[in-house]
Amino acid sequence: MANTFSLILVLVTIVTGIIWALEKWVWAKKRQLKFAELQAQTNDLDTSLEDKVLPQPWWVENSVSIFPVIALVLVIRSFIFEPFQIPSGSMKPTLLVGDFILVEKFAYGLKDPVMHSTIVKTGKPERGDIAVFRYPPNPSVDYIKRVVGLPGDIVRYSNEKQLCIQPRNESVCKPVPLSDVQKSNLGVNGMPLLQLSEKLGDVDHHILINPWRPVHPQDYQPRPGVSEWIVPEGHYFMMGDNRDNSADSRYWGFVPERNLVGKAVAIWISFEFNRDADSSLPSWIPTNVRFNRVGRIH
């Protein structure tokens, strides 16, 4: 859906831009010449009447009016910031359903809005970043997860739900530090989840663990008790902070660098949609605004 909107925005900008240019440098001059001829034939024809005598066609007037706005939106959305809505709970407790976030588009390179090829390289994902990317099995869908494995890393995830990373050119797999274990106010089927503090690179954040759920099916375990992935060059390994409720790289594979959209940096508004089953309100109408969640994402 996001990619379709980008394509429509580009096409509208091109069409209105062409009309704006033709109006500025061709059609307006032709009307001026025609009005000058009318003035020569009518001595008392006031210059202020030009727009009434030879008005712009409505479609030209509208295109000229909206082109600067559409062009500005295209530039901001394609190269600077783009808004996204969090649709699922895979990034709890960091991001909640109903959070509306800003994604820094230039964090991982300036890309053209249609083909998504990199125009200017500006940076690469760092471990611990929250990244938006095009879902590899279906690039028309945008996903958001945390960057766990960088190119060349070996990523291991044990049955004890301990993440271990062996960076490129290092011989030791380093367990990711976990601390501050406590019951979360978030739960599944009435059972509370465990919230832990985790440190990936320089990023401190919280994760959720379901202590009653197995780590994942045996099909994903190359040897008993451990799952291991070697991150290819030009790819990244992504995981959700809600570790037992996240469809991520553990299940569908790595994210190619070309699929990266940007880095999530802030929550600009957050809505709740909690309502009783018999509520007459449409599901898309918010029931509350969580102002305490507005700000930078930690």
Q: Which two tokens stand for residue 280?
A: 């007459």
Report the Cα 138 to chain-centroid distance in Å.
15
Residue type, 136: P
Whether 150 contacts 231, CB under 8 Å: yes
Among residues 145, 227, 246, 270, the one annotated as catalytic is 145
**CA-based torsion, 262, 264, 268, 274: positive or negative:** positive
Whether 269 contacts 86, CB under 8 Å: no
Active site residue 145: yes
DSSP structural state of residue 47? G
Tokens 């295209």, located at residue: 74
DSSP structural state of residue 169? T
| CA pair distance 223, 213, nearest whole angstrom | 19
Q: Which two tokens stand for residue 235?
A: 């790819």
| CA pair distance 134, 3, nearest whole angstrom | 9
Which helix (DSSP H) or strand (DSSP E) does residue 248 occupy?
none
Active site residue 158: no
Peptide bond into 93 cis (omega under 30): yes
Whether 231 contacts 151, CB under 8 Å: yes
Among residues 90, 246, 249, 270, the one annotated as catalytic is 90
Burial of residue 31 (number of CB atoms within 10 Å: 0-12, 13-18, 19+): middle
| CA pair distance 270, 288, nearest whole angstrom | 9
* Active-site residue list: 90, 145
